[in-house]
Amino acid sequence: MSNSLTKVLVLNGPNLGRLGKRQPEIYGHTTHDELAALCVGWGHTLGFAVEVRQTNHEGDMVDWLNAAADEQIPVVLNAAAWTHYSYAIYDACAQLTAPLVEVHISEPLKRPEEFRHTSVITPHATAVVAGKGIDGYREALEVIADSLGETGGGA
């Protein structure tokens, strides 16, 4: 089993499929497909088999988090708008036993909208990486590697 890579899910919530088009002054010009390829590459160097998913449907996200809980799969989660109000996602995150890293491309605490200053994900997260752009996903994967004691080359 030393040849197998540890599976990690990178889960992105609503509107993140529009990266590169949606408010590039806030979220940058990298598309979601480009982000996915970067995450797979970064993960591979850390000994991870990264699977990147994006949905605009809350039930899909809950199902993915429930499956991650059942299979003890580490998760990098950008719940996007759901971060601020989804108790369904809060409850799903509460079940996770493998590391969960909350990630945000922008820094929600520096955004003018008050509602963005609250996260229902943070209470369940191993760490929060925010305001570092797309590179925050790399940092989030590194946090998972550190949490699992991975040094590259799989579990």
Binding residues, by number, are 78, 84, 91, 105-106, 116
| Positions of E strands within the chain | 6-12, 48-54, 75-78, 100-104, 127-130
The CA distance from 45 to 150, in Å, is 10
- Binding residues for substrate, as ranges, are 78, 84, 91, 105-106, 116
- Written as six digits, the tokens of 124 are 């369940």
Catalytic residue list contains 104: yes
- The residue among 121, 102, 131, 122 whose CA lies nearest residue 26 is 131
Handedness of CA 37, 133, 45, 122 (dihedral sign): negative
Catalytic residue list contains 27: yes
The strand order across the sheet containing 127-130 reads 48-54, 6-12, 75-78, 100-104, 127-130
Q: 32, 90, 104, 124: which is the annotated catalytic residue? A: 104
The CA distance from 13 to 120, in Å, is 14
Q: Which residues are catalytic?
A: 27, 104
